[in-house]
Amino acid sequence: MKNKPSNNHKIISWGQIVGWLVVFAVAILLFNKPGEKETTLDYSAFKQKVAASEVADLTVAPGVISGMYKNDKGQFAPFKTVRMEDPNLVAELSAAKVNYKAQQDRSWVGNILFNVLWIVLLIGLWWFIFIRPQRSDGKSAMNFARSKAKMQDPSKQTVTFKDVAGCEEAKEELEDVIKFLKNPKKFQKLGGKLPKGVLLYGAPGTGKTLLAKAVAGEAGVAFFSASASEFVEMFVGVGAARVRDLFEQAKKNSPAIIFIDELDAVGRRRFAGIGGGHDEREQTLNQLLIELDGFESKQGIILMASTNRPDVLDPALIRPGRFDRHISVPAPDLKGREEILKVHAKKVKLAPEVDLKTVAKGTPGFVGADLANVINEAAILAARADKEAVMPGDLDEAVERVLAGPQKKSRIISKHEQHVIAAHEVGHTVVARLTNHSDPVHKVTIIPRGQALGYTLQLPLEDKFLTSKSELLDKLCILLAGRAAEEIVFGEITSGASDDLNKTMAYARKMVVELGMSEKLGPIALPNGDDGEVFLGRDLSRHKTYSEELARTIDEEILNLIRTSYARAKEIITSHRVAFDKLVETLLQKEVVEANEIDEILGLKPVQPSVAEPEKPVESEPIVPQETPKATKPEAKQQAELFD
C-alpha cells in the first residue's frame, strides 16, 4: 500500500518561501543602506565646479568620479559624474587645490567575489538555519509541525511483563494484542481483526505507562510514545499536523505501537461549556478520529492510550472501531502489592528478617508508584544510618513517611498543646477501638509529621470493596471523637479538628444524598452536579433538580447524623474515662503507642482477622467524592486520621 504524501511538506514549503523572502529583505537593507541621494553632474558642469574650487574629497575611479560639491544653496552634497578621457584633469585638480584619491579598477576575480559571494553566503545561511536541522534532529524553526513522539528501537526495549505486577487481569487482556502483533495470520484466518485502540484507565500510579512499554517489549515492535499535551500548540493546525506525522512514521515502521499518555488533554468532549471548546484541541481530536478510521488492522499498527479521567473523553473517541478495548488498571490487592514490592525490591539489599507480605498488609490502597516510593525511601533511610541492609524498621518508617510525611523533629510544641494533641488523638483511638464496625487501630502518635501534629493510624485486616451503613456511622463517630475529647478534658475546643470536620461533612452528605442511607428520605440518590460541563467549574454548572423543601430536609438529616455521632463519641469517651486518661498519660510519655499496648490499657483482646464474615468487606475510604466513575482514585494512606 502506497502511503499518501504528508501535508507537512506543504507547511514546510510555505515556511521556506517566507524564510527566503525574509532573508532577501534583510540583504537588500544591508546592501542598500539609506542615506543622502547622490546628484549626477555633467562632466562640463563638474569641470566648472573644479575651476571654481567648489568640489572636495574626490574619488577618481576608472569609470566614475565621485565626491562632494557645492550646490545652489551653498551646501556641500554628494555627486558623481562619468569620467572622460581628460589628460589635463590631474593638473586642474592640483591647481584648484582639490583633495582627491585614485581608485584602481577591480580585477575579474574581485568582480565575481563582490557580485556573487554575498549570494553564496545567503544560501549557506539558509541551509544552516532551515535545511540542516530538518535532516538532523528535526528541531528547526520551520519544523514545528513534525511529531515529537519518541521512537524506541525494538532491540533496545528491556521492559517486559516480568517487570509489571499487581494487574494480572490487565496483562491477560493485553496478551491478545501481543499475540496478534507476533502472529497476525493466526487471527486473520478466522476473520479476526487487531483492535485499533486500547484504552488503559485507572488511578494515577497504577502502572498504565509501564504496561504499554511492556506490551511493546513483549511483542518486539517499534514503540512510539508521546504525551497528548505535546500535540497542542499556539499555532492552529499544528496539533493535527503532528497527529498525521505520527501515524505516517508508525506506518513506515509497522508493525508498531503508538502510545499517547494522558489522552484527556486532547480527547475531552467537544463543544462542551460556553462558546464551545478550544479550536486547536478539537482540530487535533478530529484528526485523531480520522487517523483511527483511516488505517486498517492489516497494517499492524495499534494505538494505546492512558487516562485518569475516562468520564470526560469524547464518546466518538472511545466507541468500538476506534478504542475497541477499555482495560481497567486498578489499585492492587494484597497479593498484587506483595508482587509489586518484590519487583521493586530486586535491586535493594533486604535483611533476611524482612517480610514483604507484612509490608503489603500494612499498605492497603497503595498503588504501584506508592510501593516503589516505600522501597526507595526505606533504602535511603538505611543508607543514611550506615546499615548493611534494609531492616523492617526502615520499611515501617518509609510507609509512615509516605502516609503522613517526614517527622518534624525541630518543631517545638508547648506542654499544654502536647496535652491537647494527645487527648485529641486518644479520643480517635478509644472510639475507633471500642466501636464494632471500624478498622483496627495500628498505632497512635503525637510526633509531628508533614502538616499533622499527630495522628491515629487504622489499617484494615483485609482488602475491602463495600461499606455498610454501620461502618459509616462508626466512621463519623471516630472523626468527631477528637473534638469531643478536647471538649470533655479541657472544656473548650481548638482548631485541630478542622480536617476532621471537613471529612465528617463529606461523609454525612454522601450518605444522605448519594447512598440512600437516610431513614427519613429513604433509598434515593440525588444528582450531585458532577455531570456538569467539563470546561466549566462544577459549582457553576451545577443546578438543583429538587425542591427547596427537600433541600431543607437533606440539611436536617445531615445535621442529625453529625450531632448523633458527636453525642455518641462523647458518651464512649466519658464511660471509659479512666482508661482514656491512662492512655493520654502513656502517649505523652512515649509519644508513640502501638496496638498491643492500646488493647492492654483498654482491657481488650487483640483483633484477629475475620474468616467467617465474607459478606462484609469494606473499603476504608469509600465515600470520598470520586472524580472518575470507572477509575476510582484509591484513598491510599487509608484511615490515617491527621490532626492539623
3-state secondary structure labels for all residues of 560-628:
HHHHHHHHHHHHHHHHCHHHHHHHHHHHHHHCEEEHHHHHHHHCCCCCCCCCCCCCCCCCCCCCCCCCC
pLDDT at 551 > cutoff 50: yes
| Cβ pair 267, 317 in contact under 8 A | yes
Grid look-up 586642474 returns 92
Please tell me whether the overall predicted TM-score, pTM, comes out greater than 0.75 for this model: no
DSSP 8-state assignment for residue 127: I
* CA 131/CA 373 separation, integer angstroms: 46
CA pair distance 461, 616, nearest whole angstrom: 12
Domains, the chain, ordered by start: 8-32+109-135 (no CATH), 39-105 (3.30.720.210), 150-328 (3.40.50.300), 334-402 (1.10.8.60), 415-643 (1.20.58.760)
Q: Please enumerate in sequence order all residues whose Cβ is within 8 A of that of 417, keeping only pairs 6 or more positions apart, or say none.
A: 453
Stronger pLDDT, 93 or 431, i.e. the higher one: 431
Q: Distance (Å, rounded) from C-alpha 301 to C-alpha 292?
A: 10
Q: Residues 434-450: what's their mean pLDDT?
A: 89
**Which of 114, 224, 125, 205 shows the shortest CA–CA distance to 166?**
205
Q: How far apart are CA 436 and CA 433, in angstroms?
A: 8
pLDDT at 557 over 90: yes
Q: How confident is the model at residue 585 (pLDDT cuts 50, 70, 90)?
A: very high
Q: What's the pLDDT score for residue 536? A: 45
Q: Are strands 454-458 and 325-328 parallel, antiparallel or unpaired?
A: unpaired
C-alpha cell at 158: 528491556
Whether the Cβ atoms of residue 285 and residue 266 lie closer than 8 Å to each other: yes
Q: What is the dihedral of CA 498, 501, 506, 508, to 10 degrees?
A: 180
Strands 640-643 and 197-201, sheet pairing: unpaired
Catalytic residue, chosen from 425, 486, 619, 635, is: 425
What is the predicted pLDDT for the residue at 23? 64
The three-state secondary structure class of 454 is: strand
For 613-632, b/e burial (b = at least 16 CB within 10 A) is: eeeeebbbbbbeeeebeebb
Q: 172 an active-site residue?
A: no
In contact, 197 and 322? CB cutoff 8 Å: yes
Sheet holding 454-458, edge to edge: 592-594, 441-445, 454-458, 640-643
Cα–Cα distances in angstroms (integers) from residue 9 to residues 5, 14, 15, 205, 350, in the given order: 8, 9, 10, 39, 56
* Dist CA 541 CA 12 (whole Å): 43
**Max Cα separation, the chain?**
132
Average pLDDT over residues 28-38: 60
- pLDDT range class, residue 132, cuts 50, 70, 90: low
DSSP element (H, E) containing 326: strand 325-328
Q: What is the DSSP letter of 350?
A: B
* Closest-CA residue to 76 (of 104, 43, 39, 109): 39
Mean pLDDT of 292-303: 71
pLDDT at 3 over 70: no
pLDDT higher than threshold 70 for residue 131: no
End-to-end CA distance of the chain, in Å?
65
List all residues 6 or more positions away from 237 whose beta carbon is below 8 Å from its beta carbon: 145, 280, 283
DSSP code, position 138: S
pLDDT band for position 451 (cuts 50, 70, 90)? confident
Give dist(CA 450, CA 445) in Å, integer: 13
Calculate mean pLDDT across residues 516-524.
90
pLDDT band of 638, cuts 50, 70, 90: very low
With beta carbons less than 8 A apart as the criterion, state whether 103 and 61 touch. Answer: yes
Top mean-pLDDT range of 321-335, 395-409, 479-493, 533-547: 479-493
Residue corresponding to grid cell 549626477: 40
Q: Which residues, including other chains, have CB under 8 Å from residue 565's CB and lie 6 or more apart?
A: 473, 476, 477, 479, 480, 504
Contact 286, 237 (CB under 8 A): no
The more confidently predicted of residues 318 and 140 is: 318
Average pLDDT over residues 513-520: 90
Please state which of the ranges 173-177, 428-432, 521-525, 527-531 shows the lowest mean pLDDT. Answer: 527-531
Residue 42 predicted with pLDDT over 60: yes
Task: Tell me if 266 sits within 8 A of 228, measured CB to CB.
Answer: yes
Beta strand pairing status for 150-152 and 64-70? unpaired
Q: Which three cell numbers stand for residue 82?
A: 562619468
* CA gap 414, 550 in Å, rounded: 48
Q: From the CA atom positions of the chain, what is the Rg in Å?
A: 39
d(CA 454, CA 448): 5
Q: DSSP assignment of 205-232, as one string?
A: TSSHHHHHHHHHHHHT-EEEEEEGGGT-
**What length is written for the chain?**
644
141 pLDDT higher than 70: no
Q: Is 591 left (phi over 0), alpha (psi -120 to 50) or beta?
A: left
- pLDDT over threshold 90, residue 290: no
Among all chains, which residue has been given the C-alpha cell 488523638?
425
Model confidence band, residue 228 (pLDDT cutoffs 50, 70, 90): confident
Helix (H) or strand (E) holding 458: strand 454-458
Please answer whether residues 425 and 445 qualify as being in contact, where contact means their C-beta atoms are separated by less than 8 angstroms: yes
Instruction: Please give the Cα distance from 6 to 392 (Å, whole number).
Output: 58
Dihedral sign for Cα atoms in the order 322, 331, 466, 506: negative
d(CA 620, CA 631): 17
What are the strands, taking DSSP E only, across 184-308?
197-201, 222-227, 256-261, 301-307
- Which position has the higher pLDDT, 624 or 242? 242
pLDDT tens digits, one per residue of 334-384: 899 999 999 999 889 999 999 998 899 888 888 999 999 999 999 999 999
Helix, strand, coil tally for the chain in percent (to 5) = 50, 15, 40
Sign of the dihedral through C-alpha 404, 409, 411, 417: positive
Judged by phi (left if over 0) then psi (alpha if -120 to 50, else beta), residue 443 lies in beta
Decide if pLDDT at 628 tops 60.
Answer: no
